[in-house]
Amino acid sequence: MHYYLLEDTLIQQKRIRNIIDTCRIFDNPTAFLAALMADEQPKTILLDLEIKTVTEAGFNVAKAIRRVDTLSPIIVVTTHSEMVATSYEYHIGAIDFIDKSLPEQQFVQRIESALQDAAKQYFNNNHETKQLEMVLLPTGENIALEDMIYIAHNGANSHLLTIYCSQQTIQIRGTVKTLAEIHPKLIRIHAAYIINRDMIESLDTKAHTVTLKHQVTLPCSRKYLKMLKVLLAI
């Protein structure tokens, strides 16, 4: 999932960047729309209503988006909460309106909740026959659980991890301990490895290795072996 923000205030740009560090940020509606139109990947769009002192600029941008893209979720982040009702007249289909004046903790929680809702909405719209279970990463990015194979610690860099997916790899900052806690199906099997439980194909209790789908074999520490045996009913 790609993330885009239209916001012309540096302080507000920084707030969103702290929540979604992969977000592409624009303060110009024309450049923002051009980037969106050029990106064919799944995306979530965040925008302010007032751009360069034009109060309804965000609505006009949202209308332009909806002419060519009816599926990408839109989240409005604004100080103009009194304009929520107006949004229905513009038919932009925003999934949430978040007030910038909220206390920081509440603001972060609202953004993260809206991102989860956005991911569910997008994938439900695009995969009507299959409900995808999403994992919210510490970066604010959502990825489908079924795409995750395993997570590996990057050796010398103690705070850099790589998430290996079926179609991509993602590098994020964090620890093995904290990443193993973001979803119940992510299981720690080693000081350096976390696996997706649904990807397990076999466990070799003698060699202390776990074989996953996509022809991946990883070491399993003795301390986690018993837990895996219970999970797999061996």
Predicted confidence (pLDDT) per residue in 202-220, tens digit: 999 999 999 999 889 999 9
Average pLDDT of the chain, as a whole number: 84
**In the predicted model, is pLDDT for residue 138 greater than 60?**
yes
DSSP string, 102-158: S-HHHHHHHHHHHHHHHHHHHHHHH-TT-PPPEEE-TTS-EEEGGGEEEEEE-TT-T
The DSSP bridge pattern shows strands 142-144 and 186-190 to be unpaired
**In the predicted model, is pLDDT for residue 226 greater than 70?**
yes
Confidence of residue 87 (pLDDT cuts 50, 70, 90): very low
Say which DSSP state 54 is in: B
Percent of the chain past pLDDT 70, that is, above it, reads 87
Say which DSSP state 159 is in: T
57-77 average pLDDT score: 83
Name the CA dihedral angle for 59, 61, 66, 67, rounded to a multiple of 10 degrees.
120
d(CA 163, CA 174): 11
Tokens standing for 91? 């038919």
Confidence of residue 129 (pLDDT cuts 50, 70, 90): very low
DSSP string, 160-221: EEEEEESS-EEEEE--HHHHTTS-TTEEEEETTEEEEGGGEEEEETTTTEEEETTTEEEE--
Confidence of residue 221 (pLDDT cuts 50, 70, 90): very high
116-131 average pLDDT score: 68
Predicted TM-score (pTM) of the model is 0.52
Tokens standing for 137? 């990463």
Residue 41: what pLDDT?
83
* Identity of residue 151: I
**In the predicted model, is pLDDT for residue 224 greater than 70?**
yes
Residue 26: what pLDDT?
93
**In the predicted model, is pLDDT for residue 127 greater than 60?**
no
Residue 90 in contact with residue 59, Cβ under 8 Å? Answer: yes
**In the predicted model, is pLDDT for residue 222 greater than 50?**
yes
Sheet with 209-212, edge to edge strand ranges: 200-204, 209-212, 216-219
**Superfamily per CATH, domain 2-126:** Response regulator (3.40.50.2300)
Beta bridge partners of 77: 98
- List phi, psi (to 5°) of 53: 70, 5
The fold of 136-231 is: OB fold (Dihydrolipoamide Acetyltransferase, E2P) (2.40.50)
Domain boundaries, the chain: 2-126, 136-231
Predicted confidence (pLDDT) per residue in 39-66, tens digit: 888 889 998 877 776 666 777 888 888 8
Residue 228: what pLDDT?
86
d(CA 76, CA 140): 17
Q: Nearest Cα to 202, choosing from 223, 218, 224?
A: 218
**In the predicted model, is pLDDT for residue 188 greater than 90?**
yes
